[in-house]
Amino acid sequence: MKILLWHGYLLTGTGSNLYTANLTREWRALGHDVLVLCQDRAAATYSFVDAAGEFTPTNDDFSVVDTGAPRAQGRAVAVRPDIGSILPVYVYDEYPGFLAKRFVDLDDAELEQYTRANIAALVTAIQRHEPDAIITGHEVMGPYIASEACRSTGTEYVVKLHGSGLEYAVKLQERYLRYAIEGLGAAKAITGGSRYMIKAASGAIPGWVERAEVVSPGADIDLFKPLPRDASKPPIVGYVGKFIRAKGVHNFLSALGLTDIPGLQAVA
């Protein structure tokens, strides 16, 4: 199967980044032909990427160079759309090579430029790759970008919900709610990692829940497996996420003070 993934960020770091990278890796291993549109300048260094490249400044063409990655049954190619210097984000963080700016802090011209650049790139990718499936993530702006690109190419797309777009854009500004309604409303299907995710998103964004399905993120069972441990030792609780308030690390630390388990250990 030929699969086209649109992801507006990197392939390392945050949950949606890792989700996209792991999907690409697994689909490649299963024999699929995957094209990923992302903003990762280091994509050529990843072992699951067979070729990487960039779009032209007008996003009407792109070129790639083979990476020399070990062969697999399938193939994965990562290409970076030209979006300019501003990278819109849900939660502020540093992104080398970009001026990171929260979606809610973008002016209308900046948002329009970002959106139009990605629509042009996605149209080009659809025409070049001729995918059997098109998948985009988050509630904004990916679904809206896909709706415009697929409308002009006569194709369909699937949306994978994530929490950050909902909490840090859609719920905060009316313009993002409008984009989310249009983007999810035109999707062939919408997937969420849990019933809770679908319920939370549909409670804020109307008009699509009858096309929603739960698709579990799953786990790499070769990587995540219990290690032998001494039952006489106190338990260990861990935090996995960025050390920023928006991701809740302070709640993790506060909760430790409410426990009464002797010797409880915390890892972050």
pLDDT tens, per residue, the chain with 268 residues: 999 999 999 999 888 999 999 999 999 999 999 999 999 999 999 999 999 999 999 999 999 999 999 999 999 999 999 999 999 999 988 898 999 999 999 999 999 999 999 999 999 999 999 999 999 999 999 999 999 999 999 999 999 999 999 999 999 999 999 999 999 999 999 999 999 999 999 999 999 999 999 999 888 888 888 888 888 888 889 888 778 777 788 899 898 889 888 889 999 8
* Domain 2-214, classified CATH 1.10.3470.10, yes or no: no
At 5 the pLDDT is 99
Burial of 251 (0-12, 13-18, 19+ CB in 10 A): exposed
Q: What pTM value is reported for the model?
A: 0.91
- CB distance 168 to 93 below 8 Å: no
At 220 the pLDDT is 86
- Could you say which DSSP state residue 12 is in? S
- CA distances to 35, 163, 201, 223, 267 from 227, in Å: 36, 30, 36, 11, 16
**Token pair in block for residue 178:** 């409008």
Residues of the chain with CATH 3.40.50.2000: 2-214
